[in-house]
């Protein structure tokens, strides 16, 4: 017979969990007592939201399921943003929450919250454990559901009496859930149809999303693109899935994507969407999106097919598995690689018409685009970059040269400010040998900067760049362009001294307003054994271009 707390920890060990990110709470004390003698490391974060983001960052880099554990009531509700972030970006995560005893649920007991109800729409699945006999099965299912099919977060709510109860321990070797059978292979006839369409297409484009990285399909995408000489564009989430230094890569498309990637997609005659969801930031005005294109959509999630854009050839399956099959079908049909001379000439014209450019900075300020390019030069190809959300996120997507999958961590779907720093901690723990750089704005950085103390506590060095323009820059950009510079609620007139703040939390802190100084300090920081914060002064009126206005089409794109 084992107690619930013992069953929980043994299940986690059997799932090969190495790290749990969380915060303590009295309701979970029995679990901590068992963890005391377990090889699993419990990483104490300073805020539950950060614990969820750290588990998310760990999962994105390792490809494994991230785990977080928090207490009941406010501890549980504080992870809601982290769960929603993981849900929107399809990140495998299992979150454990403490709960009041089953006999007190519904009585407004101290620190009671209906977390299963609260998270129903932002988790792939969730459980409230009502019977100790179900505990091991539920944990086994939670890990299985989180990591199979379209990945996502699963929540397990643990009432106090379940933690303390005893039962015979049996860990299920197999999982069988009625109605849940993810289709991996894809329909062969549909795959043959795609191969035929590819042989006929004159202006094809591969449109790659985060699903390529989640299914580890980068090699298969490269093979397809090079076999048929097809240009490749990526969503924000797909960056790193195709080498940015490859001549076929067009850069990111969508609201802040390159002019030529947007034009190529919109003028294509065949779009092959891989693990992408045609979100509004990519399509803009749906009725104007790629009007002449036959649309192929390969995705593990059947509900994503034709959700936003009507698809001509749908294939439900794992991107990697389907591409393996598709590449074999293509090999049977091609006699020589198509040159697509006219198509690439057209793309080169768009590239020459509106390249990504930026001017010189004023004295005392650095250009953020230059900073990103310099980080890209100084860090190696395996460096992991995390960001928060805002202008700095888009500059990083545009100017950092991602060459490998699982090196780019950002909140794409939910757009969560405060994500980058705790995600950097999880990333570094998943891959301690990699350089990890978090790029943030002054607004975003302040949302979870307390986690520097977590990094210091566990000896997790990484560099955090704070691009400081004393404002919520992206919203201010909107007010500049669409609200006639009527600025409201976007200026951060008072900011903390970021250098002193970093030092007070156990990090090294630097202030930079000069290019040479930035290079020297960044190089020095790469060798540091401590977390490092580098504050970089940038101009308040710096903007992100190109920009397709929300609800607009490619014809409405703003280039300066």
Give the orientation angle of helix 473-482 with respect to helix 391-399, to 10 degrees: 90
| Spatial separation of the C-alpha atoms in residues 135 and 156, rounded to whole Å | 9
| Spatial separation of the C-alpha atoms in residues 140 and 176, rounded to whole Å | 10
Instruction: Find out whether 436 and 462 touch, Cβ atoms under 8 Å.
Output: yes
Return the structure tokens found at 493.
């007139």
Residues 6+ apart with CB under 8 A from 239: 252, 397, 402, 408
Cα angle for residues 533, 536, 537 (degrees, 5° grid): 145
Residues 6+ apart with CB under 8 A from 24: 32, 44, 71
| Spatial separation of the C-alpha atoms in residues 39 and 268, rounded to whole Å | 53
Which residues are catalytically annotated?
48, 110-111, 160, 474
Nearest to 451 by CA among 501, 505, 387: 505
Virtual CA dihedral for 435, 441, 447, 450, nearest 10 degrees? 40
| Spatial separation of the C-alpha atoms in residues 184 and 304, rounded to whole Å | 15
Nearest to 186 by CA among 286, 54, 379, 319: 319
Q: Helix or strand or coil: residue 509?
A: strand
């Amino acid at each position: 017979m084992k107690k619930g707390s013992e069953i929980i920890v043994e299940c986690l060990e059997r799932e090969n969990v190495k790290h749990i990110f969380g915060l303590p709470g009295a309701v979970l004390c029995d679990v901590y007592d068992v963890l005391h003698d377990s090889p699993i490391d419990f990483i104490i974060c300073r805020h539950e939201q950060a614990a969820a983001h750290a588990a998310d960052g760990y999962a994105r880099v390792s490809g494994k399921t991230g785990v977080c554990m928090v207490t009941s009531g406010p501890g549980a509700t504080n992870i809601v943003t982290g769960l929603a972030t993981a849900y929107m970006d399809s990140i495998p995560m299992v979150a454990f929450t403490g709960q009041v005893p089953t006999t007190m649920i519904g009585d407004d007991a101290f620190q009671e919250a209906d977390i299963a109800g609260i998270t129903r729409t932002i988790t792939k699945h969730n459980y409230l454990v009502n019977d100790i006999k179900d505990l091991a099965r539920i944990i086994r299912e939670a890990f299985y559901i989180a990591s199979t099919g379209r990945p996502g977060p699963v929540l397990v709510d643990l009432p106090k009496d379940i933690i303390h109860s005893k039962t015979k321990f049996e860990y299920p070797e197999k999982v069988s859930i009625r109605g849940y059978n993810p289709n991996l292979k894809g329909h062969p006839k549909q795959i043959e149809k795609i191969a035929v369409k590819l042989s006929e297409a004159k202006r094809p484009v591969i449109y790659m999303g985060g699903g390529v990285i989640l299914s580890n399909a980068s090699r298969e995408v490269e093979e397809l693109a090079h076999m048929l000489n097809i240009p490749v564009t990526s969503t924000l989430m797909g960056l790193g899935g195709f080498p940015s230094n490859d001549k076929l890569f067009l850069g990111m498309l969508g609201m802040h994507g390159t002019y030529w990637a947007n034009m190529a997609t919109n003028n294509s005659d065949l779009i092959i969407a891989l693990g992408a969801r045609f979100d509004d930031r990519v399509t803009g005005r749906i009725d104007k999106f790629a009007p002449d294109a036959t649309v192929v959509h390969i995705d593990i999630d059947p509900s994503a097919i034709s959700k936003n854009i009507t698809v001509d050839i749908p294939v439900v399956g794992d991107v990697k598995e389907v591409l393996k099959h598709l590449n074999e079908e293509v090999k049977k049909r091609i006699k020589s690689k198509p040159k697509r001379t006219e198509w690439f000439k057209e793309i080169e014209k768009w590239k020459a018409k509106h390249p990504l450019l930026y001017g010189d900075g004023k004295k005392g300020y650095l250009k953020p685009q230059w900073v990103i390019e310099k980080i890209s030069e100084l860090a190696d190809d395996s460096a992991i970059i995390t960001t928060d959300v805002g202008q700095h996120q888009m500059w990083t997507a545009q100017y950092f040269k991602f060459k490998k999958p699982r090196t780019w961590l950002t909140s794409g779907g939910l757009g969560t400010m405060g994500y980058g720093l705790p995600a950097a901690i999880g990333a570094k723990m998943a891959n301690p040998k990699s350089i990890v750089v978090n790029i943030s704005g002054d607004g975003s950085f302040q949302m979870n900067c307390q986690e520097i103390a977590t990094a210091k506590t566990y000896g997790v060095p990484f560099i955090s760049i704070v691009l400081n323009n004393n404002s919520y820059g992206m919203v201010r950009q909107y007010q500049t362009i669409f609200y006639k510079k009527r600025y409201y609620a976007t200026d951060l007139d008072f900011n903390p001294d970021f250098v002193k703040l970093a030092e007070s939390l156990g990090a090294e802190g630097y202030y930079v307003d000069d290019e040479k100084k930035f290079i020297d300090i960044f190089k020095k920081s790469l060798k540091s054994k401590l977390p490092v914060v580098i504050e970089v002064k940038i101009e308040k009126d710096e903007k992100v271009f190109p920009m397709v206005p929300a609800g607009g089409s490619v014809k409405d794109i703003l280039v300066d």
